[in-house]
Structure 1
Amino acid sequence: MPEGANPAADYELGLRLLNARAMQRVLGSLGDPYAMVLRGADDPYPLYTEIRERGPIYHSGTGSWVTADPEVITEVLADPRWRMSGPDGSPAAEQPLPFYGYGTPGAEADEHLRLRAHWEPLVDPEALAAHRKTVERECLARLDRVTGGDLMADYAWPVATAATGALLGVPAAALPRYAECCAGAAVLPDTLLAAQPLALVRRTEEAVAGLDELFGGAPGAPDGTETADRAVRVLLSTAAAPATAHLVGNAVHALLAEPGWWQALCRDPDLAPAAVAETLRYDPPVQVEIRVAAAPVAPAGTDLAAGSHLVMITAAVGRDGARHPEPDDFRLDRQAEPEPLAFAGGLHHLPVAPLARAQAEVALRILAEARPNLRPSGAPVYRRRAPVVRGPVELPVLGLGET
């Protein structure tokens, strides 16, 4: 038995997680589209359409209120009465047994203002302009030695973790451990909503602890000893590195699905920013934002008590035909359309969004320049019970290892 293991605690937590999964499965079978989203689907967008058709906001059998309405989402994200967790850091009572339901430390808007001095120098325009050169070197170095045919394992994830690690000052000798921890912590946002298997929960916990140690945290040290600088680096590692990898994977999958668009990018690699922007509309790496009401509120005229839990399907807004013509078509030539609500709030809106976009743009441009013969060789594989984070676990391709 591992040192520090607590069989009684594991049994209790495992039972709660199992009950939550069973509850969500039953509710999904009864026709609740949000419960089906929690269970997982290779293509969740038809479920998002069902959620939109239920009106601006509806009460799911899971206990959460759910919306895919752009006006409601925009209103909530701008309202300080909606927080990432309860005012005391506790989860909302209606949440369906989340493990990490207390929210992400440092994710409130006021916390970001307090931490601005620690994250802003990493992602200001001048820093990102210099960082793009680092990302380019990492992309080219990876392509020089790639031999496999999985875009995620052989390119997207190695580039994302190496580039993010370089920005955060991870020593070269520690990069393999850093990459392992980033991948292990990628499921963290999903644990806010969808109960995961116990073993995965414990691996996620270990990955976050590993990142904290890499950035100088002492195991078992009191919370008050954690510096703001280290907290920012851990948060960027658990958010920006996975967002970059998934953004690259989702973009390449969409581009290869319509070979004309991949060829267009290869002819003009400067279209990489357009490809990233369209991916953020069409299939973003962050699909959901969640908030808890700190006071009574009435979005869309619906009275909600303090403590109410609201799930905002931000990815659905990009497929809203009232905002985007031909919303289910991936196109690089969209003009003058509303900004998508991907990376819409909190941590995603501030340091993560510019970093993930910059890294993904460089990764796509280099890939198009170096591998114009890239083509799909099989269907992508997606992880189940991943309502917040979306990206292929595997994306089989041909031409990645060719020179």
Structure 2
Amino acid sequence: MRTAQTLASDEYFAAVTAASYQDDPYSCLSALREAGAVHRSSSGIWLVTRYEDAARLLKDPRLSNDTVTAAEQTAAVVRGSARSSGYRLPQPVTTLDPPEHKRVRTLLGQAMGADLTARLRPRIDAVIGELVDRIRAGDSEGDLVADFALPLPLTITGELLGVPPEDLSKVRAWGEALARNGDPEFLVSAADRAHGAAAEEEFATYFASLTLQRRRSGGTDMIAALSTAKPHPVAGRMSFAERVVNGMFLFINGYHNTVSLISLTVLALLRFPDQLAALRADPGLAAAAVSEAMRYDSPIQSIARVTVADYAVGGRTVPAGQQVMSLIGAAHRDPRAFASPDRLDIKRKGALPALSFGSGAHYCMGAALARLQAQAAVSAIVLSFPELELAGEPEWHPTIALRGLRRLPVQYRQSSASTAGATT
């Protein structure tokens, strides 16, 4: 028998395939949230819609992150120089449970270094300066994603991991294909699954070669650091295959979600001119603006976990072995947690933390770097281009779990005709 909650969740999954969903997912998410705190779809996925439940679920150690094995292990074989060893890609750090999660995260953190953001800040500022100069020297209209939001984190992530600049374009293409496969499997077409599998294999081959190269030649990047580090007294060392898969993971997550965070923050500010004016009047609000924009329109729309035992949430009991999806977009607009949740307010007082970077032991390792890039980028954009405005409708990536813009058409400055008209 189909319950009202099942009907509501099935209607949600039907709605997300419509083109109009990308333009406004929040009407649908709000309706689902107000229909109930927890829903089970006929596909077997449980949906958690309210902030309090989602926040508790994300940091609860009684749930597993191993959604890969829960669905099916589909890792590609690392080819090329690793073929004779028969390596298969293990799971990346985000899908591991203790004690393996702590071991791999410790080693990644060691390679990153405690002073990562301080070390990278001068380079971030330099890249931003180059991008602003390039925009000023170009046309008055452009695409903020291609002109600014994409090249900044792509450059920084590439340098952090030791990916040569000439390879960034093809590596980014593989990342885009894999991001599309991050949605629930039944929402991904057979063609996209095949494309994603091919991209994963090519990406793995590339990173296997890069990892071997960094082990031989050394360097200051993370891949070199992981490859040449002495064994940790407790965590030991990563295997070759672990270095490959986590290099891939760090690259995709290091740039992809930061692109979205920058562009979605700018879009939100342009849609709320009073908030844009407030930021220009007080640039010290940049950190608050990024945090509030992340709540208002999150780059991460859902995070999945798996129950390892019967689990009570939102007045219902989810049986063991079930996938539970926290709908971050719905939780961030929950009026039980946020006053006037459909409004951007960069001076919001006492706001609960956004859940986009996760929570608890699995809180995103790169969150501080993503925030730093977004804050510096947004400040530079709104202060360097005081006449910035939308120049067309945004174009969205067709993904559900990850929300991001393909294009954000903007006018950086008024044309000479407009300026003349304004002064007469």
Report the TM-score when normalising by structure 1.
0.79
Query: How far off its partner does 1:109 sit?
Result: 4.1
Q: Deviations over 1:262-284 (max 9, x none)?
A: 23333433322111100111111
Query: How far off its partner does 1:370 sit?
Result: 2.1
Contact 2:290 2:371 in 1 (8 A): yes
Aligned length: 363
SS at match of 2:325: strand
Gaps of 5+ in 1: 1-26, 93-97
1:172 equivalent to 2:165? Answer yes
1:105 equivalent to 2:119? Answer no
Residue 305 of structure 1: which of 312, 316, 319 is its match?
Answer: 319
Structure 1 residues 29 and 381: alpha-carbon distance in aligned structure 2, compared to 1, 3 A threshold = farther
Contact 1:181 1:208 in 2 (8 A): yes
Contact 1:292 1:308 in 2 (8 A): yes
Query: How far off its partner does 1:135 sit?
Result: 1.6
Partner of 1:130: 119
CA–CA distance in 1 between the matches of 2:251 and 2:328?
A: 22
Q: Which amino acid aligns with 1:91?
A: A
Contact 2:300 2:401 in 1 (8 A): yes
1:187 equivalent to 2:200? Answer no
Q: Deviations over 1:250-269 (max 9, x none)?
A: 10100011223223333433
Contact 2:10 2:41 in 1 (8 A): no
Partner of 2:259: 245
Residue 46 of structure 1: which of 27, 35, 43 is its match?
Answer: 27
CA–CA distance in 2 between the matches of 1:383 and 1:260?
A: 28
Q: Which amino acid aligns with 1:105?
A: P
Structure 1 residues 29 and 56: alpha-carbon distance in aligned structure 2, compared to 1, 3 A threshold = closer
Partner of 1:57: 38
Gaps of 5+ in 2: 1-5, 76-89, 212-237, 416-424
Contact 2:387 2:414 in 1 (8 A): no
Contact 2:264 2:293 in 1 (8 A): yes
1:276 equivalent to 2:290? Answer yes
1:90 equivalent to 2:70? Answer yes
Query: How far off its partner does 1:29 sit?
Result: 10
Query: How far off its partner does 1:196 sit?
Result: 2.4
Structure 1 residues 238 and 346: alpha-carbon distance in aligned structure 2, compared to 1, 3 A threshold = farther
1:33 equivalent to 2:12? Answer yes
Contact 1:157 1:245 in 2 (8 A): yes
Contact 1:51 1:67 in 2 (8 A): no
Query: How far off its partner does 1:352 sit?
Result: 3.0
Query: How far off its partner does 1:297 sit?
Result: 2.2
Report the TM-score when normalising by structure 2.
0.76
CA–CA distance in 2 between the matches of 1:291 and 1:130?
A: 34
Partner of 1:17: none
Partner of 2:406: 393
Alpha carbon RMSD of aligned pairs, Å? 3.2
Structure 1 residues 333 and 218: alpha-carbon distance in aligned structure 2, compared to 1, 3 A threshold = closer
Q: Which amino acid aligns with 2:168?
A: L
CA–CA distance in 1 between the matches of 2:362 and 2:264?
A: 17
Q: Which amino acid aligns with 1:395?
A: L
Structure 1 residues 144 and 208: alpha-carbon distance in aligned structure 2, compared to 1, 3 A threshold = farther
Query: How far off its partner does 1:56 sit?
Result: 1.9
SS at match of 1:303: strand
Q: Which amino acid aligns with 1:204?
A: G
Partner of 2:378: 364
Partner of 2:146: 153
CA–CA distance in 2 between the matches of 1:38 and 1:309?
A: 20
